[in-house]
Amino acid sequence: MFGHSPLQRGHRLRLFGHHRHSLAHTRSTAPQSRIANSAGEILRRRIIPRLMQADPDELLTEDGAAIDPAAWKFMLRNEKPGGHGERSVAVGVVDMALFDLAAKLAGLPLYKWLTRHYGLGAPDEDVFVYAAGGYYAPDKGLTQLQEEMRGFLDQGYDVVKMKIGGASLADDVKRVEAVLEVLDGDGSRLAVDANGRFDLDTVLEFGRALAPYGLFWYEEPGDPLDFALHATLSERYPGPLDTGENLFSLPDARNLIRYGGMRPDRDYLQFDPVLGYGLVEYLRIQDMLRQHGWCARRCIPHGGHQFSLHIAAALRLGGNESYPGEFQPTGGFADAAVIEHSRLRLTDTPGIGFEDKAELHRVFRELHTE
């Protein structure tokens, strides 16, 4: 499939044996939690044991050349549908590790491995990224908010995002206008994020106030499962809406498209491949979206990490979130990444490229040697 000779059975067993050792190490060194349904407990008690009990040959591609990320089916064996909770994150993390391993074995960066493996055609060589920030803080006034946004522009971002809903409407309008001053009044360079906190009346009130600014998008205005709220807002708010980061499965995503009033000509979808059972499920969501007339360019994953960056390039999505300076060391891109006009080129490092983030790689190595 990739021009590589199939692995001999003995080598395949040794190779996967090493991987199984890593999974066992994860089980033994991860801190014990009193919460049985935490992601760590789900990994240790259910997900990882199923992988370790599987026949190694069943976890390889048909030609035996690579680990098959479709091992997803073993992770969810005997699991009931629905009730996603932390389970979707636990599976998503292992899914990410398997894709990283598959690409490393082929000596390819993940986005190129994905295009070969799935026959996707030429990937995007660079990806649109926007800078998410604008959080509330006790001593953070309008001046500090503007300084934060100027810092994003200095790093090469053209589009930025800020939080709303943590203050009164009047105060949030002042915050929006303060950021727009930094952006030369161009609302198409500013996205706002309510983190799902509004009821219907508040959603519409904020929508009326925000509409004149022509914003990049109005994100997660209400509860992500309140599809009627989204449908009502989409009828009254003329600008782009964005949601999906807290919908963790194909059925949830499909219900949003069926009942949430999302408009494929202007709205965005931010399903997160790691939070939502991994890339295997994300590819199913992409198939569903195509069937409903959506273009992949309307998808910009939540998360701000390298896994979703590779997915965005391979699937030719609309872009990827970025959190400059936040959620370190896991968040963000390669240490040497250069962003120009909100575009980021991927590296040729095999796999996801964790090694290109020195502090994150150091943490991984310390965990492996404990």
**Has 73 been annotated as catalytic?**
no
CA atoms within 13 A on the CB side of 113: 27
Among the listed residues 19, 104, 112, 163, the single catalytic one is: 163
Tokens representing 288 are 């569903």
Element (H, E) at 174: helix 169-182
Nearest to 130 by CA among 167, 169, 161, 174: 161
Among the listed residues 230, 302, 305, 310, the single catalytic one is: 302
Identify the DSSP state of 292.
T
Tokens representing 2 are 């990739």
Nearest to 313 by CA among 53, 101, 126, 102: 126
Tokens representing 187 are 């609302």
Please count the residues of the chain. Answer: 370
**Has 163 been annotated as catalytic?**
yes
Nearest to 312 by CA among 347, 339, 285, 346: 346
Compute the radius of gyration of the chain from its Cα atoms.
21
Active site residues: 163, 302
